[in-house]
């Protein structure tokens, strides 16, 4: 038996009542529909994880849960995988599971907690779960992700410094001879972003005489 079945059914009933009542405003309908959506997606996360674990998708001719989700739910493989991971997040953070089943947070909010478990750390995220959950109930998923990234920056500041230094090393400017001048190339990773020709000593006057000519264009010596 999956957790939250009662709350999921209740959310669906509330949405049905809202849509059939003449006394309910459009805003109330939307709130009820959003609550039903969030509860349903939480339930789908758990059921997709169960299907993935038991390989029940193979009974329907699908080699993986990704394939089954794409064929039967018409959703991208990435979303299916994220929903399966969300069920793992529910196990690590039971309060997040309760909030998701009760429509207090959305699937996108849960993804922020999944991100935190991986990038901030399991122990750290468990310790921060209560205040993060309080924030999640009142902000958008994007705002919650920003808070999680702030926590990562504080907790793993040294890692960010090392990553920055590695990035600077890979973005170093390389100077090479280019005819009478030099070529300056910025190389982030292995990809050239831009290349400018720096005039040689004898070309400086020509460069000043023609300031509108693109720096990277070839110039013939007179």
The domain spans of the chain are: 5-162, 171-209
Residue 157: which pLDDT band, with cuts at 50, 70 and 90? confident
CA–CA gap between residue 26 and residue 152 (Å, rounded): 40
Residue 175 token pair: 């100077």
pLDDT digits 0-9 by tens, 75-120: 999 999 999 999 999 999 999 999 999 999 999 999 999 999 999 9
What's the pLDDT score for residue 189? 35
Q: Higher model confidence: residue 88 or residue 205?
A: 88
Q: State how far the Cα of 58 lies from the Cα of 8, in Å rounded to an integer.
A: 27
CB 73: neighbour CB atoms within 10 A? 13
pTM for this predicted structure:
0.70
């Amino acid at each position: 038996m999956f957790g939250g079945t009662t709350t999921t059914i209740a959310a669906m009933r509330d949405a049905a009542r809202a849509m059939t009542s003449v006394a309910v405003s459009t805003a109330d309908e939307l709130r009820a529909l959003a609550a039903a959506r969030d509860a349903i997606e939480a339930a789908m996360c758990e059921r997709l994880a169960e299907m993935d674990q038991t390989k029940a998708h193979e009974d329907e001719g699908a080699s993986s849960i990704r394939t089954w989700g794409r064929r039967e739910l018409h959703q991208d493989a990435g979303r299916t995988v994220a929903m399966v991971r969300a069920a793992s997040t529910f196990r690590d953070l039971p309060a997040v599971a309760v909030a998701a089943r009760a429509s207090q947070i959305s699937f996108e909010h849960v993804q922020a907690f999944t991100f935190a478990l991986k990038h901030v750390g399991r122990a750290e995220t468990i310790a921060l779960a209560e205040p993060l959950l309080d924030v999640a109930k009142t902000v958008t998923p994007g705002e919650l992700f920003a808070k999680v990234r702030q926590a990562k920056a504080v907790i793993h500041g040294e890692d960010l410094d090392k990553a920055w230094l590695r990035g600077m090393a890979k973005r170093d400017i390389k100077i090479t001879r280019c005819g009478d001048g030099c070529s300056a190339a910025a190389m982030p990773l292995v990809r050239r972003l831009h290349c400018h020709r720096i005039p040689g000593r004898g070309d400086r006057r020509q460069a000043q005489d023609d300031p509108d000519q693109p720096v990277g264009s070839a110039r013939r010596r007179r």
